[in-house]
Chains A and B, each alone.
Chain A
Amino acid sequence: MLHYLFRRSVALLATLVVASLIVFLVIEVVPGDPASYMLGMNAQPDTVAALRAELGLDQSRTLRYLHWVSGMLHGDFGRSYTYRTPVADMVADRLWVSLPLAIYALTLSTLIAFPAGIWAASRRGRLADSAVMGFTQLGIAVPNFWFALLLVMLFAIQLGWFSAGGFAGWDSGVLASLKSLTLPAVSLALPQAAILTRVMRSSLLDVLHDDFMRTARAKGLSARQALLRHALRNAMIPVLTIMGLQFSFLIAGAIIIENVFFLPGLGRLIFQSIAQRDLIVVESVVMLLVFAVVMVTFLVDVAYAWVDPRLRHQRR
């Protein structure tokens, strides 16, 4: 296990280094000088030069890259070109919206998908199974931002139960905040739940014919008991893998959904920063999200190997 952990950690580190190089270089080739952009068209050349020095833009590329990376490792993401405030503070503020939204959506999709998948698997070939599968087929095809619009039409405009957008802020109470995150979380959770239901169902069906299931039935467990006690545990590995992979889609989805509901999260921050050419913010947020995706994949892989020792020696 230690050897496996070491090998995976080296790969993780390499991925992060290369990813940070790519992000840095892509943002480097953007035409235009941030300093002259910040100061406007009528700026004096020496003012621009002074600001360039202040922002560290007069240093060599290699130095700036090293500075950026070592800063991030210390939690210092640099200073926003537009607002002159530390990027880390802006990100931290937004994270308090994006992270709860992601967790909320993940919880909802799990709460929907697990029972639905188990139910469909236990009634394979019957009406309930076909109904669940039909719904998942539809759930995969519905774009989450359109589903969000439909939810707004029904629950915000017709029924008036929720507001059509905006975020209450955690200061105004946990319940009010969760309420303003509910429609976004539901629209994010739908496609995830649809995929997860299918994985849960097929992974359960895969183990239903295994020998240990026959043994479980033979020792007197009912089909339902055997399913819940023995099949479920064995079916969980593919399900957990897919949940890890879905994290990347969850992030992409959240960026779009935040725009539908005007939520002040990381997704909105990226788009505002692009519009304002505040590239250091774009750079740092993209890197942060890539870091999150890579870390989740890594943790899922490690958890996987921990649960199933056979995988430690396998090469992908």
Chain B
Amino acid sequence: MKWRSIVPGASLVLIVVSAALLSYLWTPFDVATLDIRHRFTAPGAEHWLGTDHLGRDILSMLMVGARTSIAVALVAVGIGMGIGVPLGLLAAARGQSWVDELIMRGNDLVFAFPSLLIAIMITAVFGPGAVNAIIAIGIFNIPVFARLTRGAALSLWTREFVLAARVAGKGALRISAEHLLPNITNLLIVQGTIQFSLGILAEAGLSYVGLGAQPPVPSWGRMLAESQTLISLAPQLALFPGLAIVMTVLGLNLLGDGLRDWLDPRMRRER
């Protein structure tokens, strides 16, 4: 009963998401206020997770940072699905034609650029920022969804209910939208969860090297980058943002695994 991993997975994700949402209304301390006198406070009753080198409350920064992570990863998955799924459906509908070939070779081309290289090139042109991180991760997501959709749709095209729809006079567009898409929604949800977790990791990596959200917007990756020079002085600074990332990614992965087994019993192989 592997689908049981939905419960711990969803709980972890829920904690992070509610912390991010709560931060719009309330954080223990204001993240924009610097309080140099109380810098490097150890975790305690007042500052639960301590303060950083500028006296900012770590917990509050993590809460606000969660927003950045979630927003970047979510929009990037949206881009990947929004462009990749229609492309995959089109490729499947025009299977074995030049359209299909063009789309699939285009996918291979994008795969040749690791997402970090896309981000680096975008940054070289437009400068760093959260939007560029979203675009870089989003572009990388397109071929993932296009391939998945094409593969699933191709096998659906041979099924009787699609044949029935064709006999009823429906065109490829309507069949794709009305009959194929609902059948691959589960697959997309599962892959979306996994790409979401990869997006969180990628965003953290990009903002760690300074290609993501810029100061003063708090982000987990940059908190880790800033902690690096202070690591012997205040090791807790390097600990908590990392734990936040692990918690989120682990939660999403468990959720994805569980959803896959729950939504698609055929995938429930004997493992």
A274 within 8 A of B: yes
Scoring A residues 238 to 274 as 1 if CB is less than 8 Å from chain B, else 0, what string do you get? 0000000000110110011001100000000011001
- Bound together, the chains give a CA A152 to CA B96 distance in angstroms of 52
The answer to whether B224 and A274 touch across the interface, beta carbons within 8 angstroms, is: no
Interface assignment of B11: CB less than 8 Å from any CB of chain A? no
Instruction: Indicate if the CB atoms of A145 and B205 lie closer than 8 Å.
Output: yes
- Of residues 182 through 239 on chain B, the ones whose CB sits less than 8 Å from some CB of chain A are 197, 201, 204-205, 208-210, 224, 227-228, 231-232, 235, 238
A290:B231 contact, CB within 8 angstroms: no
Rounded to whole angstroms, the CA-CA distance of A271 and B253 in the bound complex is 31
Please give, as numbers and ranges, the residues of chain B lying within 8 Å of A157 by CB-CB distance.
231-232
Structural contact, A282 and B201, CB atoms closer than 8 A: no
B105 to A143, Cβ gap below 8 A? Answer: no
A149 touches B242 (CB 8 A): yes
Q: Assuming A15-B105, A316-B104, is B125 touching A29 (CB within 8 A)? A: yes
**Taking the complex as formed, is A23 at the interface, i.e. its CB lies under 8 A from any CB of chain B?**
yes
Query: Could you say which of A38-46, A134-142, A223-231, A304-312 contacts chain B?
Result: A134-142
Q: Give min CB distance, B248 to chain A, whole Å.
A: 8
Q: Is the interface of A mostly helix, strand, loop or mixed?
A: helix
- A297 CA / B110 CA spacing, docked (Å): 13
Count A-B pairs with CB separation below 8 Å.
125
* CB pair B114 A249 closer than 8 Å: yes
Pairwise interchain contact B271-A256, C-beta atoms closer than 8 A = no
Stretch at the interface among B49-57, B70-78, B80-88, B115-123: B115-123
A205 interface residue, CB < 8 Å from B? yes
A270 CA to B210 CA in the complex, in Å? Answer: 13
Measured between beta carbons, the chain B residues less than 8 angstroms from A36 are: none
- Please give, as numbers and ranges, the residues of chain B lying within 8 Å of A202 by CB-CB distance: 271
A286 touches B120 (CB 8 A): yes
| Majority SS at the chain B contact face | helix
Q: Is A18 an interface residue (CB 8 A)?
A: yes
B249 and A141 within 8 A (CB): yes
Q: A15-B109, A149-B228 are in contact. Are A248 and B114 (CB under 8 A)?
A: yes
Contacting pair B121 A146 (CB below 8 A): no
Among A14, A153, A255, A286, which residue has its beta carbon within 8 angstroms of that of B235?
Answer: A153
Contact A315 B113 (CB under 8 A): no
Most chain A Cβ neighbours within 10 Å, of B122, B124, B224, B270: B124
B112 lies within 8 A of chain A by Cβ: yes
* A279→B123 CA distance, assembly (Å): 11
Contacts of A19 in B (CB 8 A): 109, 112-113
For the complex, count residues of B whose C-beta is within 8 A of A.
Answer: 42
Is A150 an interface residue, CB under 8 A from the partner? yes
Q: Is B181 an interface residue (CB 8 A)?
A: no
Give per-residue flags for A155-193: 1 if the beta carbon is below 8 A from chain B beta carbons, else 0.
001000000000000000000000000000000000000
When the two chains form their complex, are residues A286 and B125 in contact, meaning their CB atoms are under 8 A apart? no
**B157: Cβ under 8 A from any A Cβ:** no
Please tell me if the beta carbons of B114 and A293 are within 8 angstroms of each other in the complex: yes
Q: Are B238 and A149 interface neighbours, CB within 8 A?
A: yes
Known contacts A141-B250, A252-B116, A256-B208, A150 near B124 by CB under 8 Å: no
Within 8 A of A (CB), among B3-58: none
User: Are the CB atoms of B125 and A30 closer together than 8 Å?
Assistant: yes
Complex Cα spacing A152 to B230, Å: 12
**Cα-based distance from A124 to B269 in the complex (angstroms):** 13
Chain A residues contacting B104 (CB-CB under 8 Å) are 316
Which residues from 274 to 292 on chain A have a C-beta closer than 8 Å to any C-beta of chain B? 274, 279, 282, 286, 289-290
Taking a contact as CB atoms under 8 Å apart, the answer to whether B124 and A15 are in contact is: no
- A48 to chain B: closest CB distance in Å? 22
Which B residues have a C-beta under 8 Å from some C-beta of A?
A: 96, 104-105, 108-109, 111-117, 120-125, 197, 201, 204-205, 208-210, 224, 227-228, 231-232, 235, 238, 241-242, 245-246, 249-250, 253-254, 270-271
14 interchain pairs, CB-CB under 8 A: A18-B109, A26-B124, A29-B125, A138-B246, A141-B249, A143-B201, A143-B246, A145-B204, A146-B246, A149-B231, A248-B114, A255-B209, A259-B208, A274-B120
- Chain A residues close to B by CB (< 8 Å): 11, 14-15, 18-19, 22-23, 26-27, 29-30, 124, 137-138, 140-143, 145-146, 149-150, 152-153, 157, 202, 205, 248-249, 251-252, 255-256, 259-260, 270-271, 274, 279, 282, 286, 289-290, 293-294, 297, 315-316
